[in-house]
Amino acid sequence: MTTESVTLSRDEPFPLPTERRYPLDLSTRIPELRRLYHESNASIWNVADDLDITAIDVDRLDDQTRAAAALSWSRRAWLSFADISESEAALVRSCLELDREADFKFVLATRGTERAVAADACHRIAQRLGGYRATPPEGTEALFTAEPIRRALDERVDFDAYVVAHFVVLATIDRALLETAVAATTDATCRGALERILVDIERQETAGRIYAEARLDRLDDDARATVTANVVDVVRLDVLSGRRCVAFVDEDIAGGAELRMAEELTAHAGLGAATLVAQGEAVTAALAALHADLDRLGLDGGAATSIETAPASPRSPR
């Protein structure tokens, strides 16, 4: 078993696992996960009824701030949209393997819906703020082509290692970043959207932790070492690259400064982002908390999270 970087290579034909479907147990094996699945079913929100996009007072904003906030929300839309196919790919992967609990499959299906609703909301808010941007700033495109489908489906990557990296570690970091953004947001509509997205992300994080706990006690030491190595790989690919946290975007790459500036301006206007300093601190704190959490799961939390996380210092927004 290897880590997710290898799935990005196209040197060999893609290794898709073969499904073993029967016996097909659809019963509840992990009740707490089934409860979260039902909770998600009962709490789907929709942009039209639950958010008043027109209440965002765009007239008070100067052009630079509007454009910055539109880019910040566009970035959230790109990430949320990519999470839809990531969720469905993880769902298919869980179905390909015999004996994966239906409870987790069902939760993954709700995650796809939640991410679709989030993408829709972020797109509409970006539109309201002066225009959704379909394309990242030039030079940052690679940050947003993370190949989520291949990474979930590649049989060379152990699925439990995938689950821990994405649904425990990245979910924890996403949640921490969202909490920081909520705290910095004064606009009621933007804050309302972030709070709703946060509730869904928290539920998915809880589900990921419950499932990891249920699975990891079956793993031997070698398999646990693989899980740890994959966490390191995924944090590097998805967080330290700047993909999920703009504080880590290299300001010297073309377009990097624009992404960073957009976050700062949006944060200062209270429109849905945290400052880069706050984002970097949120990731550092999340990784510190994960150290202990991963230890409790029988993994090497220290190795998984001892990553140089100091982001480049932010420049003045203006």
Partner 1 sequence: MTAPTPPHDVLELPDHHVSLDLGETVPAIRRMYRAAVKTAWDPETAIPWDEVNPEQYSPEVIEAARVYWSRRAWGEYGAISESPAMQFRYVLEGREPDLSLFWALRTQEEVRHAEVCMRMADALGGYHLQPSDEELKAIAGALGTRARVLDRSRPLEVTIAGLVCVAETVVYDVFLELVRAATNPVAKQIFRLILRDEVRHCDFGWEYLAHRAPQMSADELEDCRQAMISMIRDVELAGYRSAWLAVDPTPEEVAVDELVFDAGLGGVRAEWEGPIVVASIRAIRGRAAGLGLELPTFQHHLLGEI
- Binder of partner 1 out of 141, 183, 302, 315 (CB under 8 A): 141
The answer to whether the beta carbons of residues 136 and 143 sit under 8 Å apart is yes
The answer to whether the beta carbons of residues 252 and 262 sit under 8 Å apart is no
Listed in sequence order, the DSSP H helices in 129-170 are 148-153, 159-163
**Cβ-Cβ contacts under 8 Å for 314 (sequence gap 6 or more):** 247, 260, 264, 275, 276, 277
Contact between 147 and partner 1 per CB under 8 A: yes
Comparing CB distances to partner 1, the nearer of 120 and 281 is: 120
Segment 104 to 123, residues that bind partner 1, using CB under 8 A = 105-106, 109-110, 112-113, 115-117, 119-120, 123
Tokens of 282: 């949120």
**Contacting range for partner 1; rule: CB under 8 A; set: 127-135, 220-228, 257-265, 273-281:** 127-135
Contact between 27 and partner 1 per CB under 8 A: yes
Contact between 315 and partner 1 per CB under 8 A: no
Contact between 243 and partner 1 per CB under 8 A: no
Q: Output 31-38 pairs: Cβ under 8 A, ≥24 positions apart.
A: 31/103, 32/210, 33/101, 33/103, 33/104, 33/106, 33/107, 33/207, 33/210, 33/211, 34/103, 34/106, 36/107, 36/203, 36/206, 36/207, 36/210, 37/103, 37/106, 37/107, 37/110
Contact between 6 and partner 1 per CB under 8 A: no
Interface characters, 28-67, with partner 1 (x: CB under 8 A): ----------x--xx-x-x-xx------------------
Type of residue numbered 156: R
Contact between 10 and partner 1 per CB under 8 A: yes
Secondary structure percentages of the chain, helix, strand, coil, to 5: 70, 0, 30
Contact between 292 and partner 1 per CB under 8 A: no
The sign of the CA dihedral 193, 131, 60, 53 is: negative
Contact between 313 and partner 1 per CB under 8 A: no
Comparing CB distances to partner 1, the nearer of 43 and 186 is: 43
The answer to whether the beta carbons of residues 43 and 195 sit under 8 Å apart is no
Comparing CB distances to partner 1, the nearer of 16 and 292 is: 16
- Binder of partner 1 out of 61, 70, 71, 82 (CB under 8 A): 82
Tokens of 14: 């893609």
Residues that bind partner 1 (CB under 8 A): 10, 13-14, 16, 18-19, 21-27, 38, 41-42, 44, 46, 48-49, 77-78, 81-82, 84-85, 87-89, 91-92, 95-96, 105-106, 109-110, 112-113, 115-117, 119-120, 123, 132, 134-136, 141, 144-150, 153
